[in-house]
Structure 1
């Protein structure tokens, strides 16, 4: 019985879990970069099977939307007023103002940096690849700028990811899986609307998703490393959020509680 308990404690030891999570992030980042690089290379070299797939899907979905006016209005509303990148930026700005007031200032820095880096990286890569948007016989929507990667799809990952990883401690544990489903559903939904409305190819959307995930993973790993250096306990970000202390109580009853947004290593106790 003693050996079983010892094995269980070893298995769930915070240091071992932290090391495993960091190893997974370290593997996920180059894997994501490789996937994005491969996709970008195929787009840049105009690999015909991929281009044919892109064109067929964009044309087919656009024709379907054109024949269903009601769905056309729904998709336009979603892409312009619900899943628009600026909507996420406004929500993140409001959240950051509240977090700053709460004293979680390093979390604010993480949220702002992640959002800005995602937006700038997407804009920069558009100028690098200069891929034209789909040219369809009967378009139902128009959008300016280059096509690859999709900025809407990128922000569709970064926006919900930033909001959820920051505010997850305030969501009851039983509802957290639902919150993740909503966030993932939003990312998938925004990608579908962009292709169905004929303003992006499938590969544009996939590229945006992958790039957004890379940015989110990278900045979250940096935040987790800061917690480690600051002497704060290791967390399972996907389950607890990046800074569980913002709910006013540490998630682990065996770890001393700290006030929201405080850093025990800083001179004034604020982070």
Structure 2
């Protein structure tokens, strides 16, 4: 009983590049967090971007509201269940674990950072940095892109490009909705996007490492049982 090992959720060819991107994203998260800690007003960049997207009207407001719903508990739970189901149907258990663990850790990290940074919008109790909606949606896009990269057998350049492009599109879409609806400052969106870029590759590496270790232990136990059964059969 020696089945093939489950495919890695973080392809080896992507580890270096995604690691570098994660390191840069971590610097951005920290820098923005320090810069806007305790603030309750938009910065210069925030004001410039908010002016460009302010006053969104139908039908774009409905689009923004639909995007925002995907980050709410009901919408996010539906997305997670659908993607986990797809992973299991494709026989990618590691990807299913990454969806739950990666998204959970990403949202948890964003929530923790909100309390640490203390930036607010529309009142002292509305913590805004980083955007949890943006972090969540970007994290999901990263997981799906990693799954697609593995399924298609893409190389380093194509795989990294696909993963980064998926994260960029997802982050821009949800980020636009959050800014257009006045729920977050643009720099909150950037912080949420970078948070997902940090957490998902790290979680994917951890999932692979843990699964490999469990697989090795199982193989060792099966090997020991086979070795013990051999002499008994000869008797």
TM-score (norm 1): 0.60
Structure 1 pair 83–124 and aligned structure 2 pair: CA distance change class (3 A)? closer
Structure 1 pair 86–212 and aligned structure 2 pair: CA distance change class (3 A)? farther
1:39 aligns with 2:39: no
Deviation at 1:200, TM superposition (A): 0.8
Q: Determine which structure has the larger helix proportion and give its number.
A: 2
Structure 1 unmatched ranges of 5 or more: 1-16, 136-143, 233-262
Deviation at 1:51, TM superposition (A): 1.2
Structure 1 pair 87–227 and aligned structure 2 pair: CA distance change class (3 A)? same
Determine the C-alpha separation between the residues in 2 that align with 1:180 and 1:54.
24
Give the superposed CA RMSD: 3.9
Deviation at 1:77, TM superposition (A): 2.7
Determine the C-alpha separation between the residues in 2 that align with 1:41 and 1:158.
23
Deviation at 1:33, TM superposition (A): 1.6
Determine the C-alpha separation between the residues in 1 that align with 2:167 and 2:187.
21
1:196 aligns with 2:180: yes
Determine the C-alpha separation between the residues in 2 that align with 1:39 and 1:188.
18
Q: Is this contact kept in 1: 2:131–2:189, CA < 8 A? A: yes
Determine the C-alpha separation between the residues in 2 that align with 1:93 and 1:214.
23
Q: Is this contact kept in 2: 1:149–1:207, CA < 8 A? A: yes
Q: Which residue of 2 aligns with 1:10?
A: none
1:62 aligns with 2:54: yes
Deviation at 1:152, TM superposition (A): 1.0
Structure 2 unmatched ranges of 5 or more: 1-10, 223-235
Structure 1 pair 107–178 and aligned structure 2 pair: CA distance change class (3 A)? closer
Q: Which residue of 2 aligns with 1:79?
A: 68
Determine the C-alpha separation between the residues in 2 that align with 1:34 and 1:78.
28
1:109 aligns with 2:92: no
1:163 aligns with 2:147: no
Q: Is this contact kept in 2: 1:154–1:211, CA < 8 A? A: yes
Determine the C-alpha separation between the residues in 2 that align with 1:26 and 1:180.
12
Task: Count how many residue pairs are aligned between Structure 1 and Structure 2.
Answer: 207
1:265 aligns with 2:219: yes
Q: Which has the higher contact order (CA 8 A, sep 6+)?
A: 2
Cα deviation digits, residues 9-56 of structure 1 (max 9, x gap):
xxxxxxxx94x74443443333322221111111116599x7132134
Runs of 4+ in 1 over 6 A off after TM superposition: 176-180
Listed as ranges, the matches of 1:181-192 within 5 Å are 181=165, 184-192=168-176
Listed as ranges, the matches of 1:107-256 within 5 Å are 107-134=95-122, 145-166=126-147, 168-169=149-150, 181=165, 184-226=168-210
Q: Is this contact kept in 2: 1:88–1:159, CA < 8 A? A: no
Determine the C-alpha separation between the residues in 2 that align with 1:56 and 1:162.
32
